[in-house]
Amino acid sequence: MRAILLMGVAALALSACDGEGNSGPQQRGPNPELPEPNRGLLPDMTIPRPTSWGDDRPAVPQGYTIQAIATDLRIPRQTLILPNGDILVTEGTGGQGAPRLNPKAFIANIIKGWGKTSVPGGNRLTLLRDADGDGTYESRGIFAENLNGPYGLALVNGSLYVANQDALVRFSYRDGQTEASGPPVHVADLPSAINHHWTKAMTASADGRFLYVGIGSNSNITERGMEAEVGRAMVWQIDAQTGAHRPYATGLRNPTALTIQPGTGQLWAVVNERDEIGPDLVPDYLTSVREGGFYGWPYSYWGQNVDMRVQPQDPEKVAAAIRPDYSLGAHVAALGVAFSNPAMGEAFADGVFVGEHGSWNRNVPTGYRVVFVPFRDGQPAGAPVDFVSGFLNGEGQARGRPVGVSVDPRGALIVADDLSNTVWRITPSR
């Protein structure tokens, strides 16, 4: 075991010496270039080591300003803008009990750990308030605590829903409330055995009747067997009142963020695809989510590209696999998605913001930014634009890693950063 670990560390050290090199295939957009799969003894692994922001801050486009509105949090994940302008932040972590399947997974877990914060997860909801509307959130308090890996949030008809790593719960909520009035009410159990992918993304239907919850797979590519994947790699539709649930769409390896498109009611997701078949496979993606649709995992990727690691195959499933709408690039680890609005400025009025947490399964890191994907006629149209960048410094160290993104209807993008434990606010300059 020690020899294998040393080989992994040596591979990491060599990869860290790589420059930008070949830019690789063009992968961002509706028609990504897909190279042939490439498997090795160990996957490509480079994790930028954490460092502080110091006096710096992330870069934003000309005409925009950025400020930290909360620091020293305990692993902020997703945010929710409440009707009065308050911001709720989920803080926490989960999935620590997932056993490592083999020496390769053991090594990868150690290396991935080098890029994380040392701060323990809060397992709570923090509320931020800007009482006078000047952009400074002078009030901060704990809305609820003793949660279990909270991640997704939704406010529906006077109820605040929280997707913990093991259950959907709700609190009663009235406008302006600063802390929960009682313990959470259990709505529905969520798959939590092993919890290889533990995060439970969530959004609500436009009419508030249903909640959509993303359930990630329990493996990279079925290494634990299909019995471990029951109820996973899919989006659940849950009745907000009764907790009754059903699969809404399947074959989505790890749907990490969900949102509803304004005006259409269409569900959209960002999805983290599979690893260990090369630095440029498989692209993570942004897609509309069709009711009853199947998106390929585990049998195929990006439509009908068969993954031969999965045996036995299922040709009927492969033939039915839906091609995603828009590639974000391989291994960017998209963890946040939110539709924009005109208050964000003309250039960024129509489209989605995507928080890219950043890669581990590549020699040259990618992601570590928030991008804007422009839309036209309700669909992605054009190349993504870096909207918040600079999370990697010139020495290749990580100063932050973006997760959830939310758009304040009054004209601000809110970004949770779970490495520097900061919430950032980006606004058009007035």
Q: Per-residue pLDDT tens for 298-344?
A: 999 999 999 999 999 999 999 999 999 999 999 999 999 999 999 99
Q: Would you place residue 110 in the very low, low, confident or very high pLDDT band (cuts 50, 70, 90)?
A: confident
Residue with the two structure tokens 């399964």? 361
Q: Would you place residue 3 in the very low, low, confident or very high pLDDT band (cuts 50, 70, 90)?
A: very low
The pLDDT of residue 45 is 78
Provide the whole-model pTM: 0.92
- Using DSSP bridges, classify how beta strands 255-260 and 245-250 pair: parallel, antiparallel or unpaired: unpaired
The pLDDT of residue 286 is 98
Provide mean pLDDT across the span 32-42: 87
Give residue 249's domain range.
2-20+29-120+127-428
Closest of 333, 422, 342 to residue 53, by C-alpha:
422
List the Cα angle 94/100/103 in 5-degree steps. Answer: 145
Residue 81 and residue 411 in contact, taking contact as beta carbons nearer than 8 Å: no
Q: What are the beta bridge partners of residue 64?
A: 428
Residue 430 reports pLDDT greater than 60? yes
* Total number of domains constituting the chain: 1
The pLDDT of residue 362 is 87
Residue 11 reports pLDDT greater than 60? no
Q: H or E segment at 7?
A: helix 2-16
CATH number at 345 reads: 2.120.10.30
Measured in whole angstroms, how far is the alpha carbon of residue 242 from the centre of its chain?
A: 27
Cβ atoms within 10 Å, residue 383: 11
Residue 95 reports pLDDT greater than 50? yes
The pLDDT of residue 107 is 65
